[in-house]
Amino acid sequence: MPVRHIVFAVAPDLVLLDASGPLEAFCRAELTVAAAVGAGSGGKPAAPVAYRTTVASIEGGVLQTFPGLPIVTERLGSLDDQPIDTLIVPGVPIDETCTLQPELVAWIKRRAPQVRRVCSVCTGAFYLAAAGLLDGRRATTHWRNAANLARRFPKVQVDADPIFIRDVRESTDEDEGGVIWTSAGVTAGIDLALALIEEDVGHAVAMQAARRLVVFMKRPGGQSQFSAALAAQASAGGPFEALHCWMAAHLRDDLSVERLAERAQMSPRTFARRYVDEVGRTPAKTVSALRLEAASRALAESRRPLKRIALDCGFGSEQNLRRAFVRRFGVLPLDYRERFASAVAQRPTAASAAG
């Protein structure tokens, strides 16, 4: 089994969990593989058997992190003659005026073609985009930063919902191609690392690492499930706050762009354009996510049958509800209820059993 060198290329003000979460996952996988091959005796093996990890920055030495806990890093230049299997760029706090570290952008651009796969966690996607690695590719980042990423790097196909995206492109004369992974914010780095581990050393090792971390190996759904009234609520206080509240209370109604534009007292074209600028997603995606959120909550907190939930949340039919759950969460509604239901929702009734 090859020992894969995982390098975390970090910038000043690193969001610590963006790096420490994946690091922990790789460490757990290393311990699992070591035990399986007899190289470990309950502790860390004397030499790596599956993974060795390096956290490095442009200048090396002590680096301040976003929560304030300093860490010690290697110097990225010291890795120039070392092979790198996987390059991971964790995030930093990003706003509209944030300046990326140009030396790190240049280093990523130079080393990426020599790396088997390049990854980002959270706003680390801004560094990959600045290095030109995401041009023409699908990518994700923290849902709060997705609109900013799309504005700053219009060649990137930003999708704000997935927990992570694996984008594969064949090499051409103009492009190196290769595999690039991007993930959502903070703890999504653990999801990304578990997917990488599964790809490298198999499902059983990844599952064991997830069990040791007490996390799902694969979460059902995307970022929308973690943002209460989803990204719509991120614009609370903005021009569409009242509209979002009205939408959430009228999920059974016609929520087409034309109807929403009428409610917002705008023309459909103006409304659609301004909405994307403010919220970072289309009105249709917000409607879909609001309905899914309402259905998810109903499944987890009540014993209502699927037919009633489908009608109340605007899906119209059980079939539409099932399709929406499989497409977004990768599970059927009743499977979702079984996994997330409260004690009240888990108590069977004749009606829920029939649903």
Q: Mind listing the pLDDT tens digit for each residue in 14-50? A: 999 999 999 999 999 999 999 988 776 556 667 899 9
Q: What is the pLDDT of residue 38?
A: 78
Selected residue with higher pLDDT from 18 and 236: 18
Predicted confidence at residue 41, as pLDDT, reads 56
Confidence label for 232 from pLDDT (cuts 50, 70 and 90): very low
As a whole number, mean pLDDT of residues 221-249 equals 63
Among residues of the chain, what percentage have pLDDT more than 90? 62
Task: Tell me the pTM.
Answer: 0.68
**3-class secondary-structure state, position 75:** strand
Out of 27, 122, 245, 313, the active site residue is: 122
Q: Rounded CA gap, 83 and 207, in Å?
A: 28
pLDDT of the residue at 345:
46
User: Where residue 313 falls among pLDDT bands split at 50, 70, 90?
Assistant: very high
Which of 293, 303, 290 lies closest to 341, judged by CA?
303
Cβ atoms of residues 263 and 246 within 8 Å: yes
81, pLDDT greater than 90: yes
Q: Long-range CB contacts (< 8 A, 24+ apart) of 94-97?
A: 94/123, 94/126, 94/145, 94/148, 95/148, 96/148
The predicted pLDDT at position 236 comes to 44
DSSP state of 65: B
Tell me the C-alpha distance between 110 and 113, whole Å.
Answer: 7
The answer on pLDDT for 227 being more than 80 is: no
Q: Cα-flanking dihedrals φ and ψ of residue 182, to 5°? A: -130, 150
240 band by pLDDT with thresholds 50, 70 and 90 = confident
**pLDDT over threshold 60, residue 80:** yes
- The pairing of beta strand 71-75 with beta strand 61-63: antiparallel
Structural domains in the chain, CATH included, are: 4-219 (3.40.50.880), 225-354 (1.10.10.60)
127-156 pLDDT tens trace: 999 999 999 999 999 988 998 999 999 999
Tell me, rounded to whole angstroms, the distance of Cα 69 from its chain centroid.
24
% pLDDT > 70, the chain: 86
Residue of 92 and 218 predicted with greater confidence: 92
CA separation for the pair 195, 320 (Å, rounded): 29
Contact, 217 vs 29, CB < 8 A? no
Known catalytic residue: 245?
no
Would you tell me how many other CB atoms lie within 10 Å of the CB of residue 70?
A: 11
Report the C-alpha dihedral over residues 336, 337, 338, 341, rounded to 10 degrees.
130
Model confidence at 108: pLDDT above 60: yes
Report residue 336's pLDDT band, with 50, 70 and 90 as the boundaries.
Answer: confident
Residue 353: pLDDT over 70: no
Half-sphere exposure (CA, 13 Å, Cβ side) for 325?
24
159 neighbors 147 (Cβ within 8 angstroms) = no
Average pLDDT estimate for 69-92: 97
| Mean per-residue pLDDT over the chain, rounded | 87
